Structure 1
Amino acid sequence: MSGGLESLYPFLYSSPGDPSAADRVLTEVASSTRAKVAEIDRLRLRVAGEQAEEIAACARAMTAAFAAGGRLFSFGNGGSSTDAQAVAAWFMTPDRSGTGLPAVALTADVAVLTALSNDVSFEVVFARQLAASGRPGDIAFGLSTSGGSANVLAGLAAARRIGMITVGLAGGDGGRMAEPGTVDHLFVMPSSSVHRIQEAQTTVYQVLGELVRDALRAS
């Protein structure tokens, strides 16, 4: 374990007996932090510059869906599972007007996830839930840093068959999620770093939430 950490943060393991090592470590940490902050700032600005029109179009589609009584279903794996729950909470939590929007994270029910994984297959854990609960006009919101998660893609495919609006967040080049006909509204974070991808995805879904709420208040 320490070998792995040393390869990531070599400055923490250099010259352990040197009294000035602590100062060098703090300098390295500060420099590393500044570099990471600058990197995510560049990525967010790039996403905003290249995908602003699609974000606005997606927000309009989601606004119309919520206004017509639609619900949002979010899903993903690992860190994206946590983000899926954050997406649901972001839309569901009442804003300053006291209004929340109907949203459910398909990753939250451990009993359903383990039952489907054990009795059928892990690939269908989202598709089967959407088949049971989704309706035409609802929103399927899938997150994958690679764009290639099989169960997320299966969930998006099931949602499209139902007639749901599909929104996908991916990283890199978008992976299989970027293939034509896979998702209605796709947002790709062009980075190879999982950390930066997830940070930028957070910004995208928070902006979508703000735009949707603003539009609903104005209607």
Structure 2
Amino acid sequence: MTPPLSLTEQIRAELTEAQTVLTQFVQNPANLAAIEQAARLMADSLRQGGKILTCGNGGSLCDAQHFAEELTGRYRQNRPALAAIALTEASHMSCVANDFGYEYVFSRYVEALGRPGDVLLAISTSGNSPNILRAAEAARAAGMRVVSLTGKDGGLLANLSDVEIRPPHTGYADRIQEIHIKAIHIMILLIEQLVAEPASGDGGTR
């Protein structure tokens, strides 16, 4: 019988596995391209007066909130506030969950706030959360674009997305979430840079 790992060995094993997953993600050029495409899509929307709505469940809801507050607040640059809303308001969610069902808590928000040219950042480690799928469907119906952070095989959300960012799957959702937060931080970094650039046709600085 193999003896149990010591706490130090468990710590090392966890960090090593996380490092391995990140390395696998970085080595796939499609993942890097997807992050850039997502950032450009969102920056274009913001520069044209649009906004970003974002949603998720559990830890992914926390990631959605973090994404939005870094845009309305700041990440690394002092710049004007950027329009981003995490779909998390408690009274709305309890009302819709009670009256319609929990699968509608995000889609009703999107129907109320989403406009053509806006972007939905939908976060689901399985890609199959019913309320996230309905939000993506509502976004597409509203003429919005959909960026998704998924996992496993991408689920049904993959086919509803204009851009999908999907970490490699190791069997645990926390490894997926670790890549999600890295992608979120990089997208915010790029968005801050892109919205500060002169729009095409502006002629740049003189």
With the shorter chain as reference, the TM-score category is: 0.7 to 0.9
Q: Is 1:203–2:185 an aligned residue pair?
A: no
Task: Classify the secondary structure of the residue corresponding to 2:6.
Answer: helix
Alignment of 1:80-95 (within 5 A): 80-94=60-74, 95=76
1-structure distance, mates of 2:46, 2:178: 26
Distance 1:97 1:86 in 2: 17
Counterpart Cα distance in 2 of 1:87 and 1:149? 19
Report how far residue 100 of structure 1 moved: 2.5
For 1:188 and 1:96, locate their aligned partners in 2 and report how far apart those are by CA, in whole Å: 27
Match of 2:87 in 1: 106
- What's 1:163 paired with? 143
Give the Å deviation of 1:177: 1.6
Taking the TM superposition and a 5 Å limit, the aligned residue runs for 1:127-138 are 127-138=107-118
The separation in 1 between residues aligned to 2:19 and 2:101, in whole angstroms, is 39
Q: Does 1:124 align with 2:93?
A: no
Q: Deviations over 1:103-154 (max 9, x none)?
A: 11102x1100000000111111111111011111111011111111000010
Gaps of 5+ in 2: 199-206
Q: CA deviation at 1:168?
A: 0.7
Report how far residue 53 of structure 1 moved.
1.1
TM-score normalised by the chain length of structure 2: 0.88
Identity %: 32
Greater share of helix: 1
Q: Distance in 2 between matches of 1:35 and 1:205?
A: 25
Counterpart of 1:104, as a letter, is: I
Preserved CA contact (<8 Å) 1:71 1:139: yes
Partners of 1:30 and 1:214 in 2: CA distance: 40
Aligned to 2:55: 75
Q: Secondary structure at the match of 2:24?
A: helix
Q: How big is the shift at 1:49?
A: 2.7
Does structure 2 retain, via aligned residues, the 8 Å contact 1:44–1:203? no
On the 8 A contact 1:143/1:169 being kept in 2, the answer is: yes
- Using the size of structure 1 for normalisation, the TM-score is 0.83
**For the residues of structure 2 that align with 1:156 and 1:44, how far apart are their CA atoms?**
27
Higher gyration radius (CA): 1
Count how many residue pairs are aligned between Structure 1 and Structure 2. Answer: 192
Distance, in Å, in 1 between the alignment partners of 2:17 and 2:64 is 24
Change beyond 3 A, Cα 1:49–1:100: farther
Matches of 1:70 and 1:44, distance apart in 2: 32
How far 1:196 moved relative to its partner? 0.7
